[in-house]
Structure 1
């Protein structure tokens, strides 16, 4: 029987990078079956062996870094340097997950309190089994590794469905893992279109799905998962805000803002899309930003728009913003598919698509505010809540603003820096999704808590969980609870 295939294309040139099979639901079913058996083996070898093998995998990826970066470059069109940075970040997260999994997930004793004085209690986090990962095309190595590495370190097997725009990267990641762990197919990749991802999400043997992509697609994946009550961690889109306070270092703020908005052609879920600048430094900041943007070139500093359909969305947002706001850089003529030149528009109404919807292109809207509080209120007036940025020299004020941002992560005097800290959880609120990858929370995301209580001795005169319990025992319980909890705090 002939296997249907599809091609991955270099978005900059249209050349074929590779051909890959369209895995049918039956093929996905077989892969998940192999993963089930592999998951039992992977869990049984224990945390020390898993750590050793994951560190081997890390070394193998590092040894193949240049080739992998070249593949990411070919499939996404992003510069090789950016692809290299992406893989380096993936390596650091893999290292952290491998080294910290046992400490985070191991069995430990917990306090039982006075009522449970005769008990011993333990808590541990056990593997789920098979985890399905559905990855994006914009960061085809780093983003899925934020789920894959942590799921593997937690003792699960992984079946990965990469984006149809970047399947080769997903296939290569699994091939390199098989070099480190040849005994069992602990990490497998399936390739294909939407049907393949739906089959993975809908398989009842998949115990959790980690999805990264658009909010609309997340809802469809959740619907497939709902059939089997399969839990999902969803990292969706963003419309991240960048706040410039009155005392900010404007040169550094402008530099960070521009990179956060334009790097990877703006195709970053936690990239900068909205900028709010306090009135008294607005003109100075705009001069810094305007001077710098002239030096940023599509096709040189960043690559093409990877997904052809996104060009229409970007163009619609630019056209609408240009009609209602003031164009500072670029404009409707900036769209020259597959590239989009940098676009900066100020004074765009807050209810316009360019401000409300995720653009996912090298564009930003800029607005002046009377103070940082108004900037914060505007930043939070969004259905999305993934990341954000605050620039201020006042450490206390910056921390207050960062904590008050309705986002999963905020960077202070830097941009997207939280993604490079493996110990920090990554995820959003609202339309940006739920659940967390990275850090201790990311490890626990791919486990099930297991609580055990053990009676060490019988409590004299306090056999409360028995039909033989008498009034005297109940009275003793009331006296004890009153002593422990009956005094009001003044």
Structure 2
């Protein structure tokens, strides 16, 4: 039976609604900032409690809209709560004013640095993880002292509305965090609305359009874009565990994960054993749209067509389907597909597939694995499996995140930042870096006593310049000489 996606919830918001939401957030911003870290923490903790209380209902909405099993939806919410708790608790420690050291020439000053909120942050969320992913921006922006206007994906608008309704219920604050629903026109309007920063998660193609719109007003942007993540397996790896990580990384959430395992490079010495484990695990999986299985439907019809085209291209160019193939696609339900012997310049290897597929390639050694992994224009996540050389292999590969002997665990640790490089975007969510992403650094000096050497004054004459010259040679020249001596030794 062919499965089709229900029509998305009608879109009611317009660019004019965006303007009103941003204006309301702007008015409320100063009040939210002046509350201070401790009061904001209390309100964010109340929000967390309300989200936890209503998690089952939010998970039902998420499953209905997006198609993932209820258990996966609940896990996503749990992860979001972990990060919300960390942001609320640690915002003051990370962003609060602190004293920093001065130098020999500025010893008469007290120097401090603090991180202040931008004001109003616009967040544009994705549909594949419509709670966990946007909360990495929404919660951290709020904890940093910003007000937020959140636009969820047009495919998961009710999930986004549920998140913000929970905030309103728990805090009694209705302008600090707002939800607007709509498609690309509403997202573009948010970028051009005068917000002070944009946090976006989505495809690289859409990210480029977001960045172009933000550039019109020099609005800074955080972009978490696409990925084509690899799993690298060395000869000394726990092969069964590596295969388990590969199958979960490729197939969970119907493969609709920016950090999904889409490419596997495995040492030829263990390639056959690894492949057998992968096929055994993948054959045991079944996708369906009735909530009875571990994999749900794919969300967007056009994404199914991308999956179809990637499989077709791989097979037409000599690739082999070890499991599944074009027959795995039934409407928007796609069964697991495992491909091998796929050319490295095929779409299934170079472009983001975003479906329950993986390619496996045996390599002669880790030098080849590193070279092939680094050849991608994407560099979001990475998984390395090796008992002895995991760190050494990972250090040779460009990626924003890496998990060694475990898949995507870096995203589960609240203290760690998450984000990409190259075509996978820039900026970070989560952890201290995620808090600082939604605040700007402000440096401050206070003069404690008059400077013995007036640096910034027209009173500085030839004698002072001569003294400065001697001090510079003594302090910095001596350091250079010492380094030279140590180098010769």
TM-score by length of 1: 0.95
- 2:133 aligns to what? 143
- 1:7 aligns to what? none
- 2:311 aligns to what? 318
- 2:390 aligns to what? 398
Indicate yes or no: 2:286 matched with 1:297.
Answer: yes
> Which of 155, 169, 181 matches 1:179?
169
CA distance in structure 1 between the partners assigned to 2:359 and 2:5 by the alignment: 31
Indicate yes or no: 2:185 matched with 1:192.
Answer: no
Q: Is the 8 A contact 2:378 2:421 kept in 1?
A: yes
CA distance in structure 2 between the partners assigned to 1:64 and 1:12 by the alignment: 29
Aligned residues: 475
> Which of 251, 270, 282 matches 1:281?
270
CA distance in structure 2 between the partners assigned to 1:339 and 1:14 by the alignment: 10
- 1:232 aligns to what? 221
Q: Which stretches of structure 1, 4 residues or more, deviate above 2 A after TM superposition?
A: 11-17, 19-22
1:133 match: secondary structure: strand
- 2:301 aligns to what? 308
> Which of 436, 439, 446 matches 2:438?
446
Deviation at 1:21, TM superposition (A): 4.0
CA distance in structure 2 between the partners assigned to 1:284 and 1:103 by the alignment: 48
- 2:151 aligns to what? 161
1:230 match: secondary structure: coil
TM-score by length of 2: 0.95
> Which of 304, 309, 321 matches 1:327?
321
Unaligned runs of 5+ in 2: 485-489
> Which of 338, 341, 363 matches 2:335?
341
Structural mapping, 1:431-470, within 5 Å:
431-460=423-452, 462-470=453-461
- 2:487 aligns to what? none
- 1:220 aligns to what? 209
CA distance in structure 2 between the partners assigned to 1:78 and 1:459 by the alignment: 65
CA distance in structure 1 between the partners assigned to 2:421 and 2:451 by the alignment: 46
- 2:234 aligns to what? 245
Q: Is the 8 A contact 2:120 2:149 kept in 1?
A: yes
Q: Is the 8 A contact 1:22 1:193 kept in 2?
A: no
CA distance in structure 1 between the partners assigned to 2:243 and 2:473 by the alignment: 61
Unaligned runs of 5+ in 1: 1-10
- 1:484 aligns to what? 475
Deviation at 1:90, TM superposition (A): 0.5
CA distance in structure 2 between the partners assigned to 1:22 and 1:372 by the alignment: 53
CA distance in structure 1 between the partners assigned to 2:75 and 2:300 by the alignment: 21
Indicate yes or no: 2:203 matched with 1:211.
Answer: no
CA distance in structure 1 between the partners assigned to 2:310 and 2:88 by the alignment: 42
Instruction: Deviation per CA, 1:175-206: give whole Å up to 9, x if none.
Output: 000012214411100001111111101112x0
2:257 match: secondary structure: coil
CA distance in structure 1 between the partners assigned to 2:173 and 2:165 by the alignment: 13
- 1:94 aligns to what? 84
